[in-house]
Amino acid sequence: MTRPTRFEHHQYLGDKRSQVVHDLDAAVDACAIDDLMAAETFASFGPDALPEARNRGYRPCRHCISGA
């Protein structure tokens, strides 16, 4: 898939609806990143890291984050 332009400098992208975080370097069609961008219910993290996403209550996506 194509990385969303506005997230080209981010690795992790959160879905505010489902509280799931995706790894854009490993995202697959099942992640529905395009739908997420269209709905504009996404979140980025600072720092751009999985522990930060977890701290904010996001669960790792089972499709694109290993060990989820």
Judged by the rule CB under 5 A, the positions of this chain that interact with Zn ion are 22, 31, 61, 63-64
Cα–Cα distance for residue pair 7/10, rounded to 1 Å: 5
Q: What residue number has its CB nearest to Zn ion?
A: 61
Least separation in angstroms between residue 10's CB and Zn ion is 14
Distance CA 67, CA 38 (A): 28
Residue 59 CA to residue 7 CA, distance in Å, equals: 19
Q: How far is the CB of 5 from Zn ion (least distance, A)?
A: 18
Shortest separation between residue 25's beta carbon and Zn ion, angstroms: 11
